[in-house]
Amino acid sequence: MPVPLPSATLPRRALILLVILTLVWGTNWPLFPIAMRELSVWTFRAFAVVIAGCSLLLVARARGQSLVIERRHWRVICTATFFYLVVWNIATAYAALMLPSGQAAVLGFTMPLWTALISWAVLGERMSLRLILAVGLGGVSVTLLMVPSFAAYASAPLGMVYGLVAGLGWAIGTLILKRSKVDVPVIVLTGWQLLITAVPTVIGALIFGDGHWFMPTWQTIAVIAYISLVPMCVGNVCWFMIVGMLPVNVAGLSSIMVPVVAMVSGALMHGEPLGPLQLAAMVCCVASLSLALLKPKR
């Protein structure tokens, strides 16, 4: 069975991508409630995935990349896309509506824990002691971030379910794609995945959406444009590049700082809690990432 590669092989490029990913995804969460003040979850996501997918394919075409994907890859891509992007996009948006944005992010980013559990229990993969400790510290950090919002979870249990389902879907989709080794340029792959996501999302918007046409305010339009072009385009491309460079367990742990940034962003934008527990969680996150990603000194 495959054993995760040692963190000593962490490429510098992966570290740069990790920083970009953390910032663009972490600051994204407090914007969800703003984007959905006027639009339904389905309508918001429908616009976002269509804009993001078309933008990435235009960029790929401008760079001279072929947009054609071999037929043999489509089943894997569609299956992975359903779990990662369809489930993730809808579930996280509902979770952010029902819970404080930072807490919704924490639940969604239980993905590394789901990935480690599935890899061990289902796929039979072994983990090094460093990676086990990293996952444990990641679990502690998630628990610390969840503690202040147990009351919110009790009053909105469905929001908690949506957040956890989002993290599980992300983990399953990533594992499917990683193990299938789809040989497609990242920008092309991400663009097509977003447009695949657009099909059920647009149908959902027509059925469950707002039910009438109107022009949103410029603030809503600006937020949707930003979410589409930065977190969805740049963030997803960074993520798939990281997954291509690192074992999926390590790649999953690389995202664990995102909810911390989301908590800080939520505190600044919406006055969400930020105190000793959150600071302790940040320390655990840094320790977890250090164990998973950084080369040990000899």
Q: Could you tell me if 298 and 8 are in contact, meaning their C-beta atoms sit under 8 angstroms apart?
A: no
Cα gap 238→105, rounded to integer Å: 18
Indicate whether 82 pLDDT > 90: yes
11 burial type by CB count under 10 A (0-12 exposed, 13-18 middle, 19+ buried): exposed
Q: What does the pLDDT look like over 171-210, one tens digit per residue?
A: 899 889 888 878 889 999 999 999 999 999 999 988 887 6
Q: Could you tell me if 214 and 99 are in contact, meaning their C-beta atoms sit under 8 angstroms apart?
A: no
pTM: 0.81
How is 115-155 classified by DSSP, letter by letter?
HHHHHHHTS-----HHHHHHHHHHHHHHHHHHGGGHHHHHH
Q: Could you tell me if 280 and 46 are in contact, meaning their C-beta atoms sit under 8 angstroms apart?
A: no
Q: Could you tell me if 224 and 35 are in contact, meaning their C-beta atoms sit under 8 angstroms apart?
A: yes
> Across all residues in the chain, what is the average pLDDT?
82
Name 66's Cβ contacts closer than 8 Å, sequence gap at least 6. Answer: 188
